[in-house]
Amino acid sequence: MSAAQPSPRTVESRGPLTGVVTVPGDKSISHRALMLSALAVGESRVTGLLEGEDVLATAAAMRAMGATIERSADGVWTVHGVGVGGLLQPAQALDMGNSGTSTRLLMGLVASHPITATFTGDASLSRRPMARVIEPLSRMGADVTASPGGTLPLMLRGLCPAVPIEYHLPVASAQVKSAVLLAGLNAPGITRVIEPVPTRDHSERMLAGFGAALSVEETPDGRVISIAGEAELRPQDIVVPGDPSSGAFWIVAASIVPGSDLLIRNVGLNPTRTGLIAAMRLMGADIVEQDARVVGGEPVADLRVRHAPLSAIEVPPELAPSMIDEYPALFVAAAFASGKTVARGAHELRVKESDRIAAMAAALGANGVSTQEFEDGLAIQGTGGEPIPGSGHVATRLDHRIAMSMAVAGLHARRPVLLDDAGPVATSYPAFFPTLDGLLGREPQ
């Protein structure tokens, strides 16, 4: 994938955000919907799919391995699957762009099929660690040749039949858990994953919905997820709820900008994903759930968020797995709270699209916010609701969440905040800036 030209953007304070916003489909669920539909025999339909670059990379990869995937004019995606065990040898390397989720989960799928796939990605993805997935998949029989440091590009030769394993997760990672479970779909016998700390459970919910024989047991050692191999998946109609990680930016923006009042529609409230909302409520945020319902097996509600004074907290570390992608947004909220917020227990932020701890410390510092960096998080001295100084240049580091988080910070700054590249936002939320312009009552730039 050729590198796109940087797209600088300036964000400045323009008053309150008001109105209604519908966030795009959940990225985690969108990936899994395409993958499992491609492994079912027959036609599945997916409504509300996130059409960002990461999910489109997953769609392209599944097409390359034999699935037929089409988008209709009304935005509904249809997938004709090849069946578990039916993936075909891709004719060329699978370009994952910036998507770590696509890469790790697809490695799991390929691991138990008799095919070989080469995975490539952009500069950011090529720095991200894949060893944590390589290790269990190798135990199942896959042969992986990776770049130095266990990174992309890498070549994975699957084994069929693969070897079912029992795997204790050394770190809390839904991606590693999901990769092993997906490999187990085409392995004879029972594959088990034991996670000492619960992580997002979209894979378990969706696998069961497609008809996989899956069980979850709570034990003293943690959650034990077992899946029976050689599964036959049934096609499904899937409605993808709104992404809480995308909703996080609007929750924080409405909370920090005086006079703001937003209704954020269709937000997924899977309990393994609501850590940001819990943390914001501890800080005093005014977040009200309306019209709670279940969509596609996932809890969903509309959220009304109004500006409220925030107070510093020590973020409970046990919230980390349920808000790992939302920490950059939380750091911005902390910059406007009264007192010093301390957020620790988030080592995983070091190995995301960027080192998000270092990136946010630098970005906030460049805009006049005092921070203290730890190996596993940040301490942030808030303004007590006053605007931050602003005027700093933000290195977004090819990271969509850094770009969007600092755009939110710029909405309550004395001077504009300058993003060196807003382009990465397209990986998860292509309409973010046009939506922002609309909520500020002005024409999109």
C-alpha–C-alpha distance, residues 178 and 394, integer Å: 34
71 marked among binding-site residues: no
Residue type, 181: L
Report the b/e string of 283-295 with b at 16+ CB within 10 A: bebbbeeeeeeeb
97 marked among binding-site residues: no
Cβ neighbours for 74, distance < 8 A, ≥ 6 positions apart: none
325 marked among binding-site residues: yes
126 marked among binding-site residues: no
Supply the residues annotated as catalytic.
Answer: 325
352 marked among binding-site residues: yes
C-alpha–C-alpha distance, residues 28 and 177, integer Å: 13
For residue 207, give both structure tokens.
């696998």
428 marked among binding-site residues: no
In degrees and rounded to multiples of 5, residue 411 shows phi and psi of -75, -15
CA angle, corner 417, sides to 413 and 420, nearest 5? 165
Interhelix angle 327-335/356-366, rounded to 10 degrees, is 30
173 marked among binding-site residues: yes
Q: Which residue has the tokens 């997906």?
A: 182
**Under a CB-based contact definition with an 8 Å cutoff, are residues 340 and 382 in contact?**
yes
405 marked among binding-site residues: no
What is the three-state SS of 197-221? CCCCCHHHHHHHHCCCCEEEEEECC
Residue 107's closest CA among 159, 166, 46? 159
344 marked among binding-site residues: no
C-alpha–C-alpha distance, residues 221 and 440, integer Å: 49
Cα diameter, the chain:
61
401 marked among binding-site residues: yes
100 marked among binding-site residues: yes
As annotated, the binding site for phosphoenolpyruvate includes 27, 100, 128, 175, 356, 401
As annotated, the binding site includes 27-28, 32, 100, 128, 173, 175, 325, 352, 356, 401
As annotated, the binding site for 3-phosphoshikimate includes 27-28, 32, 173, 175, 325, 352
